[in-house]
Amino acid sequence: MTDIALDRPADGGVPGPDRAAAPPVRAPRSAAGAGRALAWLLVVAGALGLLASFQITVDKIRLTENPGFRPACSLNTTVSCTPVMLSDQASLFGFPNPLIGLVAYAVVVALGVVLLTGARLPRWCWLGLNLGTLAGAVFCMWLMSQALYAIGALCLWCCLAWAVTIALFWYTTAHNLRHRFLPAPRGLVLGVLEFHWAVPAAWYGVIALLVVGRFWAPW
């Protein structure tokens, strides 16, 4: 995902002399586009999140209609969507959580498609996307903690939503740092752009360790 962090030209070509001489951290601006890699990340990750939200919603409806229904993602007592869907945490705001995902991920896909056309989004739009993905990542991590330590089961569709939300949040943040939509020391920004893979890799690794540590005995 180097192109995502470095935000290379949207045409995917090799940067010319003028581009090569440009500093990796952009000057402050009021609007910015995105390289094709970041735009495609928004489209693909958003579509996967939308798929997960849709499938959880459908299974939740079927489970409500038929208590004996067994979702396809329920493989055993550990990897089981049923207890997750029936938990209070699955409807934290009084309605099924995946309904939020149906709206939020659809917006992400739409933004990705717009960016693929070469459009530039205003600063407030990028910051709004950053805030939304941050809220989504925090919510996903809370749901993960509930699944591990309160519910005691994992939903594979939920795990997919967690994974794509983390990627969306981090690479949107990297983009905003590069274009100075988010204030940060230049050294920090250069470090983020150079080692953009480190944070998501560590994040996914910690989640994997928590899952293994929690369910090692049952496995």
Strand 121-122 with 31-32, pairing: antiparallel
91-144 tens-digit pLDDT = 999 999 999 999 999 999 999 999 999 999 999 999 999 999 999 999 999 999
158-193 tens-digit pLDDT = 999 999 999 999 999 999 999 999 999 999 999 999
Report the SS3 class of residue 67.
coil
What is d(CA 188, CA 95) in angstroms, rounded to the nearest whole number? 40
List, in order of start, the domains of the chain with CATH numbers: 31-83+90-215 (1.20.1440.130)
The H-assigned helical ranges of 66-153 are 81-85, 98-116, 123-146
CA distances from 102 to 36, 47, 150 (A): 24, 10, 25
Cβ 182 vs Cβ 32: under 8 Å: no
Cβ 30 vs Cβ 61: under 8 Å: no
194-207 tens-digit pLDDT = 999 999 999 999 99
Tell me whether residue 126 is exposed, middle or buried, using C-beta atoms within 10 angstroms of its C-beta: 0 to 12, 13 to 18, 19 or more. buried
